[in-house]
Structures are given as C-alpha cells and as structure tokens.
Amino acid sequence: MEVDLKGRDILSIHDLSREELHHILDRAEFIKKGYLSGERIKPLEGKTLGMIFQKSSTRTRISFEVAMNQLGGHALYLNARDLQLKRGETIADTARVLSRFVDGIVIRTYSQQEVAELAQYASVPVVNGLTDLLHPCQVLSDLLTIKEKLGRLAGITLLYLGDGNNIAHSLMLGGAKAGLNVTICTPEGREPEASITHQAQKAARATGAKIELTTEPRQSIKEARVIYTDTWISMGREGEAVDIEIFKPYQVNRELLAQGHPEALVMHCLPAHRGEEITSEVIDGPQSIVFDQAENRLHLQKALLSLVL
C-alpha cells in the first residue's frame, strides 16, 4: 500500500493509520542507519520550519533544530514571548501569517485545542511538539526504540508507571496502532483521561493490542518487557496540590525491577527527577535504554519532517 504523508498534520498518533505509523518508523530506521554509516542527505534544502514554543524544552527543540539542519533546511525558533500571541493576536491569524513564511510549523503548548486551531488555519503542515494532553513525537520515537531493541512491537507488553499524563495518553494510542500491549499503572485518582482510554481501546481491536489500566505495580510488572516512567508532576501542573506520597509505590527502583522480567528494558522520556519516579541506580543501570531513547528523537524527527514537508 502506497503511503503518502506529504502535507499532513501530525497532531495525534490516533490520526495515523497502522500503515502510516509503520511507514514513519521504517523511514526513521532507514535515515538513522544511513546517517550512522556516514550518509548525508539534504531533502529539505531551502525549506524552513517555524517552531512555536510556549513551554520550555530540551529534547524537542534541539532534535527538531538539528533534524532540519542535518536535512539541509533551517529551523526558526519562535518563543511565545517574541510573538504577537502574547499581545492578543489570534492563533488563526498567526497560522495564516506563518504559512506565508515557512514550510511547516512545530508547536509546543498547553492546550490541544490550540494545536488543532493552528492546524485548521495553517496552509502548511503542523506537528504537535507537546501539549498537556498528548506528546506524539516522543512516543513515536519510543516505538522506534522498542522496535530497535526487541525486533518488533506486536505482542510486546509495556508497563507505564506514574501519572496518567500526556505520555500515558500517547503510549496508549501508539500501542493501539502498533499492536503493542500497554498497561497504565497509576494511583487511584491519577488515571488517564477516560476519553483517550476509550479511543485507544477501540483502536486496539483492529491490531489485537491490549490497553489496560491498573493500580497494582508489583502484579502488573510480571508480564512487562518494557518498563516506562515519567515525572510525577507534569510540566505546567507544578502548582497543583498533589500528594507525592501516593506515587512512591510506583517508583522504578531495583526492588521493583526484581519482581519482573530479568531483561526488561527501562524507559523514561526525560527530564528525570532522580530519586522520585526513578532511581539513579536504575536510570544508569544495564536495563536502561533512556539515552538511546533520547537519541532517537532526532532520527524520528528527521523521518517525520522528510515525510510531511
């Protein structure tokens, strides 16, 4: 089946077909292999990516900037403080204007609705670089990393431990499309949004994936080949009154890992709060693939940009 993503918005993994998702991963593997063997291709020469960032960023900003540079293009970083958005210009007007200047837009913001509105009015592709609801680029690169390490996605079980946040949401949606079993393990009251869970479980019926929720880390870890965690307090929610004590049984540490598969892989999207959701012993240990995971942001971003721009 011919897959063509030229001009497409990437707002949620749920918007991709199974074939499109695997096409992105295959392209990323191809680009990474070529780059590591010394191949330098410039398919985006003369193209410019506008990057609107209303939240701070390390991996997302750097990976997109370097990706555009390595593909021959140019990335234009647009801090929200430097745009007229802060002075009341509408998202629709911003989208229309930027579309006259750039070939694509990445936006990292709070509201998923803002991303959807930007895409509605932009005439160039829009990529979701993170919202409070979803983080599709992160999870696409996570799927690339798991496939790279284990040789497949279908039938593998991933256990996510912590807060039911944007990473948990995108892991469920990505797993559903890829045939990856995803168990989200959170304290009571910190579950993912019910609408996203329903969306993922419905999509999973087509691939045979299992999307499950639980509150029991020691029981659910036994079946997991991949253990994934994220910060307990998501970006933008630092001011919320949250009892950190409820998360402590979900810390990824040596004791918890000992309950599971001896060769389970450990993932974290970073930044990590060492000593909270994960211990230094684990993140720096032999089961960790956290920094391979971070590197793959670059290769996945190059694949995405080369396909949609």
Indicate if the alpha-carbon torsion angle 252, 255, 261, 262 is positive or negative: positive
Task: Tell me which residues are annotated as active site.
Answer: 108, 135, 138, 230, 269, 297
Q: What share of the chain is helix, strand, coil (3-state, %, to 5)?
A: 45, 15, 40
Residue 17 identity (one-letter amino acid): S
H-type helices in the chain, by residue range? 18-36, 59-70, 91-101, 112-121, 136-150, 166-178, 194-204, 217-220, 254-257, 280-283, 290-308
What is the C-alpha separation between 234 and 257, in angstroms, rounded?
Answer: 24
Beta carbons of 269 and 167 less than 8 angstroms apart: yes
Largest CA distance in the chain: 55
Long-range contacts of 193-198 (CB under 8 A, 24+ apart): 193/133, 193/164, 193/169, 196/133, 196/169, 196/172, 197/172
Look at residue 220 and give its three-state secondary structure: helix
